[in-house]
Amino acid sequence: MFSNQKPVRQSAAFLLLALLAICAASAAAQTNKLPVGNANFVSSTKIGAMTVAEVNQGIEKAFGTSVSPTASPLDLYKINYRSTDEKNNPVVLSGLVVLPRGGAPNGLVIFNHGTIVNSESAPSRFTGTASKSGTEVPTLAFASGGYAVAMPDYLGLGDDTGAHPYPLGAINSLSAVDIIEPARYLAAQQNTPVGARLFVTGYSEGGAVAMWTVRNLEKKSGAMYNVTAAAPASGPYDLSGTTRNWLLAAPTDDQAFVVRLYLTAYMAYYFHKSSGVKLTEYFKPAMALTVSLNFKGNISDEDLLVRLAVASALMRPQKSLVNVLKPSFVQALQNTDTSDPTIQAMQKNDCYDWAPRTKMLLINLQGDTVVDQGNTEKAFQTMRQRGVGANVLRRYEIKDTSLNHLTAMAPAMAQARRFFDGKFAGN
């Protein structure tokens, strides 16, 4: 009798252990389950990697000793994800996600890039080798410090063949908001743990995109969208005021004139492509033809600037944008005439008159000749007047006369990194 019971007890014990193992496995599967909210994720491709030596060499070259070296190699992924365009139509966009191998305990940084025309300069084209696109600097600044980094290409850049809504931060910020969940989903797919914290930054055009991104995220619910801190840098926050006045002001040299021409042409070309406004409504015929021929071509931004400079020289503009623009558009700019679709859009995309709840550091270069520092001053003072105190909002001004708008990006991102690391410097 007893000899017959032992096997039964052993079988029961074995069955109990098996059930416990199944339950444990199920619980583990739930714990490691990929994050909910991956509906916007479309695909990803690993496009590059950076060794520890390559990262640290890049850090030393770009930042000197202002950014600490890393012990983690980096993996770079091109990501495609769903978003919406300016007319609320569905669209698939591209971007770059950088993951430190072994994990990013400090969280996720959303970086919004500056003005580019050629899609080959978009973040999703960066493979880890030296680049003029402006993607390498934020990659080194943040991914080297235990942060994952996601960089949207924006509408009309990267894989999207539509018109880029330049310089409309409210529209472009949608691509930044919508990359957050797909970036975290990709990290989970790669078994790369990313801390829960979320940071937002950007430079130049991307500074305004970053400001709009924070503003939009503060309206969303869900822990995934809670911004820990933000550092918009040198952005055109006041398009209809400060930036409009800067466009009309007489530049000090030929280079400053060509930059104004380039930015105005980019804006005009967007409205030409998206709304059918003729380029001759913005420019005199010779310049309208130059813009039409060159903005639709696949040429580098440097070559585009040269071609605009040559065309304008033939028109003898005497370093004045007014002399290449159609008089009616000059008048619309001077009078802030919102019956003009461009002026109306500039006003709608102003992003300085609000009160952020997110801890924010505004960074700018003193004496910037491309994005007038008055944009940062206007945003800072207006937010202060709205009751945003120093416990939430501060400003950091880079005072180095050897720097220009392009070269100031590295110290700006180094300061953003210090801020995200917990050092809330500034006034």
Mean pLDDT of 193-206: 97
Beta bridge partners of 108: 148, 198
pLDDT (0 to 100) of residue 217: 98
- Cβ–Cβ under 8 Å, residues 121 and 193: no
- Round the average pLDDT of the chain to a whole number and report it: 89
- Cβ–Cβ under 8 Å, residues 177 and 100: no
Residue 27 has pLDDT above 60, yes or no: no
Residue 123 has pLDDT above 70, yes or no: yes
pLDDT (0 to 100) of residue 5: 43
pLDDT (0 to 100) of residue 10: 43
* Weakest mean pLDDT among 30-34, 183-187, 257-261, 270-274: 30-34
- Per residue, the 3-state secondary structure of the chain, as one string, reads CHHHHHHHHHHHHHHHHHHHHHHHHHHHHHHCCCCCCCCCEEEEEEEEEECHHHHHHHHHHHHCCCCCCCCCCEEEEEEEEEEECCCCCEEEEEEEEEEECCCECCEEEEEECCCCCCHHHCHHHCCCCCCCCCCHHHHHHHHCCCEEEEEECCCCCCCCCCCCCCCCHHHHHHHHHHCHHHHHHHHHHCCCCECCCEEEEEECHHHHHHHHHHHHHCCCCCHHHCCCEEEEECCCCCHHHHHHHHHHCCCCCHHHHHHHHHHHHHHHHHHHHHHCCCHHHCECHHHHHHHHHHHCCCCCHHHHHHHHHHHHHHCCCCCCHHHCECHHHHHHHHHCCCCCHHHHHHHHCCCCCCCCCCEEEEEEECCCCCCCCHHHHHHHHHHHHCCCCCCCEEEEEECCCCCCCCCCHHHHHHHHHHHHCCCCCCC
Mean pLDDT of 413-423: 94
Residue 423 has pLDDT above 60, yes or no: yes
Q: Report pLDDT digits (tens) over 37-57.
A: 578 999 999 999 999 999 999
pLDDT (0 to 100) of residue 271: 94
| Identity of residue 291 | V
pLDDT (0 to 100) of residue 322: 87
Mean pLDDT of 210-214: 98
pLDDT (0 to 100) of residue 19: 39
- Cβ–Cβ under 8 Å, residues 171 and 209: no
Residue 380: how many CB atoms within 10 A of its CB?
22
- Cβ–Cβ under 8 Å, residues 325 and 264: yes
Cα distance between residue 82 and residue 256, in whole Å: 38
Residue 7 has pLDDT above 70, yes or no: no
- Cβ–Cβ under 8 Å, residues 263 and 305: no
Residue 114 structure tokens: 């500056």
pLDDT band, residue 3 (cuts 50/70/90): very low
pLDDT (0 to 100) of residue 424: 64
pLDDT-above-70 percentage for the chain: 90
pTM of this prediction? 0.90
pLDDT (0 to 100) of residue 92: 98
pLDDT band, residue 203 (cuts 50/70/90): very high
CA nearest to 295, candidates 253, 257, 265, 256: 265
pLDDT (0 to 100) of residue 24: 36
Q: Report pLDDT digits (tens) over 145-159.
A: 999 999 999 999 999
Q: Report pLDDT digits (tens) over 275-289.
A: 899 999 999 999 999
pLDDT-above-90 percentage for the chain: 80
Q: What are phi and psi of 117, to 5 degrees?
A: -110, -40
Q: Report pLDDT digits (tens) over 296-346.
A: 777 888 999 999 999 888 887 777 888 899 999 999 999 999 999 999 999
Residue 174 has pLDDT above 80, yes or no: yes
pLDDT band, residue 180 (cuts 50/70/90): very high
